[in-house]
């Protein structure tokens, strides 16, 4: 008996069925209604923050194609996903490859992690014409996943600066951080940049020179700057803290929940709240305050309270 691949051509396209957008705003199943309310509260929080922020900043800029390179498009299921590094984005990209692969992949975890980050494997919104972009922004369900900002920051630091294999990051950023933040650095440290301390990383992030020089790397850039939630209306905001429920809710709305589940995590290496607390112990209250200002919009917009370990001035 041949097993039919649920992602084969016959199943790929949702003609005649309800779109994820319809399913979200007008659930056909009672079981989805409670979750719909939760996501309405999250959307309202973003809207309120954007409104307050636009009053204070007075500048509303127009998005450029470069601003849309993080938005992955799935035409078959009418989805747009803005990926945020260090918020399960490898697994989300794997899932998007299954959804858009027309039967090429059926198990997200069979896709190697490095394969998920090859840009040609997924189509992003900046590859479309302006009328096509506008049409998709209006009629597709747009979602993103967020995480407690400082936990995400510590996760990025651990991954990019403490792992020996990340030599490209050590060369590109580590050497610069050591040169700028470390007095009496050794020649080896200046050459390799592979022993950046968390305190030095924080000092680099809050240094006005850094922000003038170039945009932050996507691994520590704010969600606000990566996904532009004040310019793009996200229909669904998932959280890393409730990753599995939120991710499977997205798949349910897309009509694929019956045969595709979001991969579960090995929790052993995950950056936790306790770990983040520890990393911040050696950061002066002045630097903590300045760092909080950099990420404040992400905290407020996505309803994360100020961490109890912070000593703000």
Q: How far apart are CA 135 and CA 127, in angstroms?
A: 14
**Pairing mode of beta strands 79-82, 123-124:** unpaired
Q: What is the pLDDT of residue 2?
A: 33
State CA 32 to chain mean position distance.
24
Q: How many CB atoms lie within 10 A of CB 16?
A: 5
Q: Is 303 left (phi over 0), alpha (psi -120 to 50) or beta?
A: left
Task: Check pLDDT > 90 for residue 33.
Answer: no
What are the strands, taking DSSP E only, across the chain?
71-74, 79-82, 123-124, 141-146, 236-239
Distance CA 135, CA 287 (A): 44
pLDDT number for residue 45: 97
Predicted confidence at residue 6, as pLDDT, reads 45
How far, CA to CA in Å, does 74 sit from each of 79, 94, 102, 124? 5, 12, 11, 9
Strand partners, 18: none
Q: Please state, as a whole number, how many other Cβ atoms lie within 10 Å of the Cβ of residue 313.
A: 10
Q: Read off the pLDDT band of 271 (50, 70, 90).
A: confident
Find the mean pLDDT for residues 267-282. Answer: 86
Is residue 58's pLDDT more than 90? no
The 10s digit of each residue's pLDDT in 116-174 is 999 999 999 999 999 999 999 999 999 999 999 999 999 999 999 999 999 999 999 99
The residues spanned by each domain of the chain are: 20-149+222-269, 150-219+271-296
Over range 28-41, report the average pLDDT. Answer: 83
Query: Sign of torsion, CA 170 175 178 181?
Result: negative
205-210 contacts at long range (C-beta below 8 A, 24 or more positions apart): 205/291, 205/294, 206/287, 206/290, 206/291, 206/294, 207/180, 207/181, 209/180
List the single range of 56-70, 95-109, 204-218 with lowest mean pLDDT: 56-70
pTM as predicted = 0.91
CA distance 299 to 313: 17
């Amino acid at each position: 008996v041949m097993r039919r691949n649920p992602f084969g051509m016959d199943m790929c396209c949702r003609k005649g069925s309800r779109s994820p957008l319809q399913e979200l705003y007008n659930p056909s199943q009672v079981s989805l209604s409670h979750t719909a309310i939760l996501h309405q509260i999250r959307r309202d929080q973003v809207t309120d923050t954007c409104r307050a922020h636009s009053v204070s900043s007075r500048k509303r800029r127009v998005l450029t194609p470069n601003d849309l390179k993080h938005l992955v498009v799935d035409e078959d299921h009418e989805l747009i996903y803005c990926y945020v590094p260090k918020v399960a984005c490898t697994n989300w990209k794997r899932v998007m490859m299954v959804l858009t692969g027309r039967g090429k992949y059926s198990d997200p975890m069979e896709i190697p992690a490095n394969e998920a980050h090859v840009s040609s494997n997924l189509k992003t919104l900046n590859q479309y014409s302006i009328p096509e972009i506008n049409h998709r922004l209006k009629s597709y369900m747009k979602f993103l996943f967020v995480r407690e900002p400082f936990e995400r920051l510590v996760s990025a630091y651990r991954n990019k600066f403490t792992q020996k294999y990340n030599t490209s990051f050590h060369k590109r950023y580590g050497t610069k951080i050591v040169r700028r933040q470390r007095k009496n650095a050794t020649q080896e440290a200046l050459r390799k940049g592979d022993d950046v301390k968390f305190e030095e990383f924080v000092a680099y992030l809050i240094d006005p020179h850094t922000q003038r020089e170039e945009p932050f790397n996507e691994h520590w850039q704010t969600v606000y700057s990566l996904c532009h939630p004040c310019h793009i209306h996200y229909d669904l905001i998932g959280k890393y803290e409730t990753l599995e429920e939120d991710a499977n809710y997205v798949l349910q709305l897309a009509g694929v929940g019956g045969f595709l589940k979001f991969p579960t995590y090995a929790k052993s290496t995950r950056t936790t709240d306790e770990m983040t607390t520890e990393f911040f112990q050696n950061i002066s209250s002045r630097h903590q305050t300045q760092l909080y200002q950099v990420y404040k919009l992400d905290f407020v917009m996505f309803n994360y309270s100020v961490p109890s370990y912070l000593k703000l001035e």
